[in-house]
Chain A
Amino acid sequence: MTLRKKLLLFIPLLVLLTNGVTFFLFESSKTVQHSYNTMMDRMLLYTQSVQIADDNVRALYTYLLNPEENSRLALQQQQAALDQIKERLAIQQTEADIAGVLQGYVHMLETFAEQEQAAGTSESPTGALSYYEDAERTSSFIREEERRLIDLELSAYEPVYRSIQLEIVRMDWLGPAVFIINTLLSIVLALWISRSITGPVDRLVLTSQHLAKGHLDASYLPGRSNDELGILSEAFRHMINDLNDLMSKDKKRLESERLVKELELQALQSQINPHFLFNTLNVLSKLALLEGADQTSDLIVSMSKLIRYNLSQLDRPVTLGDELRHVQEYFTIQQARFRSRVEIRQQIDESVLGMLIPALTIQPLAENAFVHGVERMESGGIIQLVMEQSGEDVRITITDNGAGMSTAERDALLAIQDPPRTAPAKKNSMGFGTRNVIKRLRLFYNRSDIVRIESEPGRGTSVILLLPKPSVLERKGGPIHDVPSINRR
């Protein structure tokens, strides 16, 4: 129920109930009053009729004594009054017991009127006198009957009066009860309605205070309800949740940017301007070619390509093919260095080469295989690079048969959190480059099971990347304004 409906329902309801009590009180007092009035009216009518009958007798007597015009008029006036009151009595509605008596009374008045008429119009004085006596006698009957009627009315009313008294006593008792209950009900309703407003409002205020302090916490919000405040707090809850989501996304984005920066920083750590180095290497390779040192020239070209790759925009994804070429350049240089001590095996599924991956992810792993795997071996070192389709994913495996690592070292490498950097100086130790790659891959794919390492001390290491195939992204190549390198192959 909405607040508006609640208010619209309960306030009129309260008023209606209170008014109901007032109405019933008014109604009953009106009824009682009415009954008093009608009975009183009737009694007054009885008394009045007796009065008029007496007046009639007197007027008749005066007329009979001296039958003059004005006494005749007075008599007629009295007769008219008698007729009138007779009519009024005849239409009175009384209790069934009294009705018969009242009817008799009205008839008696009629008889009286007839006798009076007869006396007034009688020719002979003796006849008039006897009619007058009759009328007088009837008027005495009327007096008696009037007393009887009043007695009857009173005795009929008495039990009613007693019962009404009892009812009124009951109502007297009900009155304070209604007052108390009504007051209680008003207070409770007022509290109830105001609580249903102030409670949620208080909680909303508390939540917004927390928000202002930076705590994104929806637990203070009021429970779900259907009123306006419920809708408001629901919207609030949504907002807080959305804010939380956005903030965590933002944190991730910042982290991946930080890692790229770190990589760039690492690349710059050579403290030689890479463009200068790259250009110099290209000049050197051309010179070596001119002097007939073909192999030297090739190596220098590879070197220059490696550097150029590193100079490209590292925050953009590249294709697996690009990354493979880069690794192959690296292999060329390392092969020239290690010669027959290392055998490099490659097993490449051409169909996976179009896939996009973050730049500089495989080369650091290959470098790791050289530096930590086979560098110290006198002979028989093997480094294998496999790229293949594995179900929906692409599996990239770099295997060496070198020194290997312990389980603890491996776990430290795969740990989500950075281990405390005890020896930052030890640059070429297993870890920094590899950990950077692992973290970047995890952030890029938003999955933590992207890298697996299988290793045993003395037996070698396998780093397995399981890359989920993303929807194909357009690859934008960055502009390169450097000296073009020559490639004889």
Chain B
Amino acid sequence: MTNRRRWNIGVILLLIVFVYVLVQFYLSTERIRSLVTPLEAGDKNHPELQIALISQELDNPFWRSVEQGALAGAAQYHMELQYMGPFRIDAEEQMKLLEKAIASKMDGIILQGIGTEQDRLLIEKANTLGIPVITVDTDEPGSKRLAYVGTNNTYAGQEIGRLIAEDNKAPGGVIGILVGSKEAPNQRLRLEGLQSVISARSGLSIAEVRASNISRLQAAQQAELMLKEHPEINYMVGLSSLDGIGMAEAVARIKPGGVKIYAFDDLEDTLTAIQHKQIVSSIVQQPSQMGYKAISILNDYFRGQTGTPEQYTPISVITGKEVSAP
């Protein structure tokens, strides 16, 4: 009898092991199926609106923030966002992408104004084809864009001017300025705003304005040249995001502690420099909000509502206090 039971147990054990292996097989099959299924998925037939976001530079943190905001908006309003942009800053490529987006019959396009005639023509073409275009960060004045979403650049320039004027008690403040590009409308507007405040104040003067071409190395190089040519400079202003750090490096090499630096945007390095007192303060924009707002304006447009063509996002000033506080 025990012998017989042993046989039964043996058979049952083997059966269990076999069934286990069989279940493993089944699970493998199921996993493969589930892996493959999304490749052919498409049970939803993409009724969503396709929105193209053309950035200035693909992996720029500022533009990635814009993308994040836009993605949040797209998820909320059931749109699909396609983020694109040149790998390096390249206005030609940006325009080509815009042309492609128009050829792909996107439902809406968000882009940075480039400021060329061709760009304006393309925006007009999109407009005739019924594709709404929103400019972010930089406007395209005189074009048929639906709206501009971004910082009031003139106001931002004025804000920096006011910061310097408040800081400068004794007369004899000499300012060196770096801009990302002298053609870019946003840079021009910032510079104009800054100049308007400086010229109104006695005791403050601008030594020189140079372009960094939105490159950290060039920013450092230009700042160094500027400091060598104008040793009297005691204030430096960077109007594009990488200028501040480049200037801080140049100042540390040539005239440590002798120059007060005002920067733009809140890159990680800029914040670190503020913490180390290499940069006094920085004007911070809201790129994520720009992206989100652009999408919500498009949503309003699709639903037949139109708002004001200029939508300014707020700016804030970050100093050593704000950086060390949180």
Contacts and interface: CB of A to CB of B under 8 A. Distances in A.
In which size bucket is the chain A interface? 35 or more
Interface in B1-46: 1, 7, 10-11, 14-15, 17-19, 21-22, 24-26, 28-29, 31-33, 35-36, 38-42, 44, 46
Interface in A92-135: 93-96, 99-101, 103-105, 107-108, 110-112
A138 B46 contact: no
Contact of A192 (B7, B38, B101): B7
Contacts of A25: 25
Contacts of A185: 11, 14-15, 18
A107 B46 CA distance: 14
Given A35-B39, A95-B39, A181-B14, A28 B28 contact: yes
Interface in A72-100: 93-96, 99-100
A164 B32 contact: yes
Given A99-B46, A160-B35, A108 B104 contact: yes
Given A107-B105, A141-B103, A182-B18, A39 B39 contact: yes
Given A31-B32, A107-B104, A96 B38 contact: yes
B35 A137 contact: no
B290 to A, nearest CB: 22
B36 A32 contact: yes
Contacts of A101: 82
Nearest to A115: B103
Given A21-B22, A96-B38, A31 B14 contact: no
A58 interface: no
A7 interface: no
A101 B82 CA distance: 8
B124 interface: no
B28 A171 contact: yes
A170 interface: yes
Interface string B93-105: 0000001111111
A38 B21 CA distance: 30
B103 A108 contact: yes
Contacts of A232: none
Contact of B25 (A24, A31, A93, A110): A24
A405 B251 CA distance: 150
Interface string A161-188: 0011001001100100110011011001
Given A17-B18, A188-B10, A24 B39 contact: no
A141 B100 contact: yes
B39 A156 contact: yes
A95 B28 contact: no
A164 B38 CA distance: 14
Contacts of A104: 50, 82, 101, 104-106
Contacts of B22: 17, 20-21, 24, 178
A145 interface: yes
Contacts of B7: 188, 191-192, 195
B192 interface: no
Contacts of A156: 39
Nearest to A10: B11
Contacts of B39: 35, 38-39, 94-95, 156-157, 160
B21 A99 contact: no
Contacts of A95: 38-39, 41-42
B18 A181 contact: yes
B57 interface: no
A325 interface: no
Contacts of B100: 108, 141, 144-145
B80 interface: yes
Contacts of A108: 100, 103-105
Interface in B76-131: 80, 82, 99-106
A181 B22 CA distance: 11
Contacts of A409: none
Nearest to A195: B7
A27 B29 contact: yes
Contacts of A191: 7
Contact of B32 (A32, A144, A145, A189): A32
A137 B105 CA distance: 15
Given A107-B104, A181-B21, A31 B41 contact: no
A190 B103 CA distance: 72
In which size bucket is the chain B interface? 35 or more
B103 A174 contact: no
B29 to A, nearest CB: 4
A71 to B, nearest CB: 26
A93 B103 contact: no
B46 A24 contact: no
Given A104-B106, A195-B7, A178 B29 contact: no
Interface in B157-194: none
A32 B26 CA distance: 15
B180 to A, nearest CB: 28
B40 A38 contact: yes
A138 B40 CA distance: 28
Given A35-B36, A160-B35, A185-B14, A105 B104 contact: yes
A137 B7 CA distance: 79
Nearest to A139: B103
Given A164-B32, A174-B24, A103 B17 contact: no
Contact of A107 (B18, B40, B80, B103): B103
A178 B42 contact: no
A430 B293 CA distance: 139
Contacts of B38: 95-96
A108 B105 CA distance: 7
B108 to A, nearest CB: 13
A34 interface: yes
A100 B45 CA distance: 10
A103 B40 contact: no
Contacts of B35: 160, 163-164, 167
Contact of A178 (B10, B21, B26, B50): B21
A111 B105 contact: yes
A223 interface: yes
Nearest to B22: A20
B25 A189 contact: no
Contacts of B18: 17, 178, 181-182, 185
Given A28-B33, A99-B46, A100-B50, 11 more contacts: A17-B18, A94-B41, A104-B101, A111-B102, A111-B105, A138-B103, A160-B36, A170-B24, A178-B21, A188-B10, A192-B10
The 5 A-B residue pairs with the shortest CB-CB distance in the complex, in nearest-first order = A93-B42, A104-B104, A107-B105, A35-B36, A24-B25
6 contacts: A35-B39, A39-B39, A93-B40, A95-B38, A184-B14, A192-B7
